[in-house]
Structure 1
């Protein structure tokens, strides 16, 4: 680290987390309630908490930060709520409806459901304007661009108050001149709009995917631009010496301008940093197969890392919109501390996906919430401290939690409040376990081969129950669990993805030369970008991949290769890597069939110096950290068990706690269920293991 501090900020649906690391390796964690109406307000509130603890004003802290990193849900929330900008689309005439045709099918799981409603279009039909132009699959121009059509589209957009425009033409990846000229006309006639060119944002084949990606980007760009502008201005007012970095869905950092131009990369900004953090906290234990779960106030996010490599998705339907750019594979469901319990028409208890969020929040927050949530259930069962969360900064009302559960669930179902609360706990756990199975069992992985890493403020109360249900024997739970995604940001690198279309059969020297030429072109862009950002040659790392298939196949698979000159001598390594990957995915390969490349991609990293690793000293033993006992519920019968409550702050490395127990850290509460043991490691994480006889 070049300066005294590094700051990571992760804005969630309920809380915004702040992680401040210093040169010595000390890491401090702070939490402020999120402010969806003005996300920058939560940042100001969080910095006020940091200033209070350090005794130093924010305008002295920020100039001493080598990096200030922001993970945000602004783009995601705009897409979920359909509150993006008013967008227009200019496309090849006759292709105005490709967004609604959606390649002729619905999403997986609903393909044969005639009652499943169509997706809401981000660009309404009257704002999708076709223009005369046509490029063939050879790159040859069949119909020149009709500039009058583009100008007519701009007149419509101007009259309708369009804020942002996407341009996507057929085969523009082979001949982008038409898109570029159309973009020049848009900038001339609509100088205030944000412009997205499909051939620049996603220069790969598949017209629908490229158009959809461009539209999503355009839809979010003005929202992200306003957010980035506000955040950048605020940090500059505090004397920031470095530009704010923003976390991308691909698992890397980017400057604000890149996030504005490539807003689609901001969609999963927050949870995308979880795998990096999960791998980091597991390093001291030699674990590389990791499932990281993050339960916040609103959602539950799951990521999987196998052999130290995190799954990357491309060409997926996210929130019903096709997105082609690479994204960390995150399984998200509506299960958080604010998830609301309710009774369905069959008289059965359900949990979520509706959430109380931060406003009004769970009933126990005392901010007007009346419906029972997961946090209310955890308070009723004795898991949470009735004196409050976040070191007492967030007071809790046991009575309001009790009344919410009793009125809405216990009395209607003729249950005791304790049994109803445990039922809420069990159901939300089952929902989360099903999500874990989707990223493991349904993709060919055995979850019992993985370590479970807990992230998020609410996860620690559920982590041993989740591991029990899924059959996992080992849990790593950092003291920083509630801000683990923010911590993941400060240990991540700057990362940009560059792509090119290369529809070539691997049969000639000309094909090999073309691939090598394209790699050199796109990598030169990335290197120049990073050098402008202050990175030097030794800090720039490049990883390559290709989308390949056998001639005649419809779909391709992504193959990673090393950095070498692609020519007649090295092409054998490329083809061999494809055969191997094809066999891994589909259990067979065809070594005698002709192979073709569809797209190429280079991921360019600016390697950031990492902060020193956190260490825990001797501290006190477990028996000296017991501060109270509470009656807690650990079974469906609702019976309460006298449970020791440990203060996690003074615990030293090696302290060992046997369940049932509750460990109260400043920003999270760890429930150690019967049959589990937690040992605090010097790296700052609890290593939790199932007793040999098995948990309850």
Structure 2
């Protein structure tokens, strides 16, 4: 770190988290209620909290930051709610309906459901305009671009008030000139619109994927542009010396212009930083197999890291839209502190996915919410401090929580409020366990081989119950758990993905030379981009990969390769790596079969200096940190157990607390169920382990 501070901001559905690190390794965490109607308002409110604690003006804090980093849900929310910009599509004539045909595919789980509704189209049919042009699969032009068709499309878009345009032609990745010329015409006739070229955003084989990715990018681009401009302007007004960085769904940072041009990378901006943070907090314990779970106010996010490498998705359906660009693999479900409890038509209790969010919020927030939520259940069960959350800044109303559960669940189901609350707790846990199984058991991983890392403000109240259900013996709970994604941002590097298509068989020297030439080209673009951003040669790291398959196969798999020259000598290493990866994925390999490359990709990192690691001193013993006792429920019978409550703030390194117990940190509450023991490590994380003899 070159300046006094580094600031990470993660905007969630209920809270916006702020993590401020200084040179000494001290890390402070702040929370402000999210303001979806104006996301910059939450940033202002959070900086006011930081200013109050440090006793210095917000502009002095910002001007002394070497990096201000923003993870945002703006793009994700626009896609979920279908409130993106009015979009037009220019495509090859005859391909206007490829978005709707969707390769004839229905999402898994609905393939044979005739009543499953079609996906909402981001571009209505009348704004998808086909133009006469055609490029063949060898890159030759069969029909030249008809510029009058492009101009006619622009006339329609102008009349309809289109804000953003995507252009995607068949085989444009092999001959992009038609797209580029069409783009020039759009810029000439519609100078105010945002333009996305499919061959530039996603230069890979597969026309449907490329078109869908370009449309999603165009749909979000004006929204992200306005957001980035507002945030950048605000930070400049506070004297920021460096441009604000934004967190991308590929797990790295980018400047605002990159996020505007490549808005599709902003979709999973927030949870994408969780794996980096999870690996970081597990390093002191020598753990590289990590499941990071993040339960906030609205959603529950799960990421998996195996042997220090986090799963990356490409060419997937996300919220029913095909997206080709690399994204950290995040399993998301509607399970958060604001998830609402309800009774279905069969008289069974259900939890979520609908959420009370931050407005009106859970009933216990006292902001008008009347429906019972997970937070209300945790308060009734004795897990949460009735005096309030976030150091008392968010007071809780236990009576309103009790009444919401009684009226909507307990009385209709003829049970006590305590039993109803524990039922809510159990059901939401079961939903989260099913999500964890999807990223572990269903993908061939045994969850018992992993460490469970807790992130998010609500996770710590559920973490031992989740681990118990999954058979996981070890939990790592950072003191910064409720802001772990914001922390993950400040320890991440700048990251850009550069791609090209290369449909070549690996059986001749010309193919090897072409692949090497393409790598050199795209990496040259990336290095120039990073150098303009202030990174020098030693700070730039490159990783290469190839999408490969056996000749005759339909789908390819991604294989990471070294940064060596691709030639007749190194090609055998590449083939061996492919055979090995193919066997890992599909249980067999065919070394005698011809291998072909479909796409190439280079990931370039601008390595950022990391803050010093947090250290916990001696502090006080658990006995001196004991605040008192509270009656809490740990079983379905609803019986209350007198449970010790500890103040986590003054606890010193190596403090050991046995369950049942509750540890109250400023921004999270840790529930240690019977059969578990927590030890505070000097690195600032609680290591929570199962006591086999005492387990339930």
Tell me the alpha carbon deviations over residues 627-664 of structure 1, each in whole angstroms, 9 at most, x when there is no partner: 11000000000000000000000000000000000000
Tell me the alpha carbon deviations over residues 493-518 of structure 1, each in whole angstroms, 9 at most, x when there is no partner: 00000000000000111000000000
Tell me the alpha carbon deviations over residues 338-375 of structure 1, each in whole angstroms, 9 at most, x when there is no partner: 00000000000000000000000000000000000000
Tell me the alpha carbon deviations over residues 76-124 of structure 1, each in whole angstroms, 9 at most, x when there is no partner: 0000000000000000000000000000111111111111000000000
CA distance in structure 2 between the partners assigned to 1:270 and 1:694 by the alignment: 37
CA contact (8 A) 2:221 2:263 kept: yes
CA distance in structure 2 between the partners assigned to 1:477 and 1:120 by the alignment: 40
CA distance in structure 2 between the partners assigned to 1:395 and 1:692 by the alignment: 37
CA contact (8 A) 2:340 2:355 kept: yes
Shift in alpha-carbon separation, 1:128–1:360, aligned structure 2, 3 A: same
- Structure-1-length-normalised TM-score: 1.00
Tell me the alpha carbon deviations over residues 206-256 of structure 1, each in whole angstroms, 9 at most, x when there is no partner: 000000000000000000000000000000000000000000000000000
Shift of 1:623: 1.2
CA distance in structure 1 between the partners assigned to 2:12 and 2:61 by the alignment: 23
Shift of 1:694: 4.8
Shift of 1:161: 0.1
2:425: which partner in 1? 425
Q: Secondary structure at the match of 1:411?
A: helix
- Structure-2-length-normalised TM-score: 1.00
CA distance in structure 2 between the partners assigned to 1:476 and 1:105 by the alignment: 40
Shift of 1:562: 0.4
Shift of 1:417: 0.3
Shift of 1:162: 0.2
Q: Secondary structure at the match of 2:391?
A: helix
CA distance in structure 1 between the partners assigned to 2:381 and 2:570 by the alignment: 63
Q: Secondary structure at the match of 2:278?
A: helix
CA contact (8 A) 2:67 2:245 kept: yes
Q: Which runs of 5+ in 1 are unaligned?
A: none
CA distance in structure 1 between the partners assigned to 2:469 and 2:621 by the alignment: 30
CA distance in structure 1 between the partners assigned to 2:522 and 2:693 by the alignment: 56
1:109: which partner in 2? 109
Q: Which one is further off, 106-115 or 551-560?
A: 106-115
Shift of 1:624: 1.1
CA contact (8 A) 2:499 2:601 kept: yes
Q: Secondary structure at the match of 1:9?
A: strand
CA distance in structure 2 between the partners assigned to 1:101 and 1:692 by the alignment: 54
Shift of 1:692: 2.2
2:335: which partner in 1? 335
Shift in alpha-carbon separation, 1:592–1:694, aligned structure 2, 3 A: farther
CA distance in structure 2 between the partners assigned to 1:178 and 1:301 by the alignment: 41
Q: Secondary structure at the match of 1:126?
A: helix
Tell me the alpha carbon deviations over residues 368-412 of structure 1, each in whole angstroms, 9 at most, x when there is no partner: 000000000000000000000000000000000000000000000
2:695: which partner in 1? 695
Tell me the alpha carbon deviations over residues 110-156 of structure 1, each in whole angstroms, 9 at most, x when there is no partner: 11111100000000000000000000000000000000000000000
Tell me the alpha carbon deviations over residues 235-278 of structure 1, each in whole angstroms, 9 at most, x when there is no partner: 00000000000000000000000000000000000000000000
Q: Which runs of 5+ in 2 are unaligned?
A: none
Q: Secondary structure at the match of 1:235?
A: helix
CA distance in structure 2 between the partners assigned to 1:318 and 1:391 by the alignment: 37
Shift of 1:26: 0.0
Shift of 1:446: 0.1
Shift of 1:693: 1.3
CA distance in structure 2 between the partners assigned to 1:238 and 1:625 by the alignment: 39
Aligned counterparts, 1:47-58, within 5 A: 47-58=47-58
Shift of 1:695: 2.0
CA contact (8 A) 2:674 2:694 kept: no
Shift of 1:56: 0.3
CA distance in structure 2 between the partners assigned to 1:422 and 1:641 by the alignment: 14
CA distance in structure 2 between the partners assigned to 1:567 and 1:467 by the alignment: 49
Q: Which one is further off, 567-576 or 23-32?
A: 567-576
Q: Secondary structure at the match of 1:392?
A: coil
Tell me the alpha carbon deviations over residues 275-298 of structure 1, each in whole angstroms, 9 at most, x when there is no partner: 000000000000000000000000
Tell me the alpha carbon deviations over residues 156-196 of structure 1, each in whole angstroms, 9 at most, x when there is no partner: 00000000000000000000000000000000000000000
1:350: which partner in 2? 350
CA contact (8 A) 2:409 2:420 kept: yes
Tell me the alpha carbon deviations over residues 305-351 of structure 1, each in whole angstroms, 9 at most, x when there is no partner: 00000000000000000000000000000000000000000000000
Aligned counterparts, 1:265-664, within 5 A: 265-664=265-664
CA distance in structure 2 between the partners assigned to 1:4 and 1:607 by the alignment: 19
Shift in alpha-carbon separation, 1:598–1:694, aligned structure 2, 3 A: farther
CA distance in structure 2 between the partners assigned to 1:125 and 1:371 by the alignment: 40
Q: Secondary structure at the match of 1:185?
A: helix
Q: Which one is further off, 686-695 or 439-448?
A: 686-695
Shift of 1:614: 0.1
Tell me the alpha carbon deviations over residues 423-475 of structure 1, each in whole angstroms, 9 at most, x when there is no partner: 00000000000000000000000000000000000000000000000100000
Runs of 4+ deviating beyond 3 Å: none
Q: Secondary structure at the match of 2:277?
A: helix
CA distance in structure 1 between the partners assigned to 2:109 and 2:92 by the alignment: 31
Shift of 1:15: 0.2
CA distance in structure 2 between the partners assigned to 1:608 and 1:381 by the alignment: 44
Tell me the alpha carbon deviations over residues 589-622 of structure 1, each in whole angstroms, 9 at most, x when there is no partner: 0000000000000000000000000000000011
Q: Secondary structure at the match of 1:391?
A: coil
2:77: which partner in 1? 77
CA distance in structure 2 between the partners assigned to 1:358 and 1:419 by the alignment: 26
Q: Which one is further off, 476-485 or 565-574?
A: 565-574
CA distance in structure 2 between the partners assigned to 1:153 and 1:144 by the alignment: 17
Q: Which one is further off, 686-695 or 139-148?
A: 686-695
CA distance in structure 2 between the partners assigned to 1:342 and 1:630 by the alignment: 28
Shift of 1:563: 0.2
Q: Secondary structure at the match of 1:145?
A: coil
Aligned counterparts, 1:176-195, within 5 A: 176-195=176-195
CA distance in structure 2 between the partners assigned to 1:472 and 1:531 by the alignment: 44
CA distance in structure 1 between the partners assigned to 2:392 and 2:475 by the alignment: 27
1:148: which partner in 2? 148
CA contact (8 A) 2:494 2:607 kept: yes
Q: Secondary structure at the match of 1:354?
A: strand
CA distance in structure 2 between the partners assigned to 1:550 and 1:379 by the alignment: 57
CA distance in structure 2 between the partners assigned to 1:367 and 1:628 by the alignment: 29
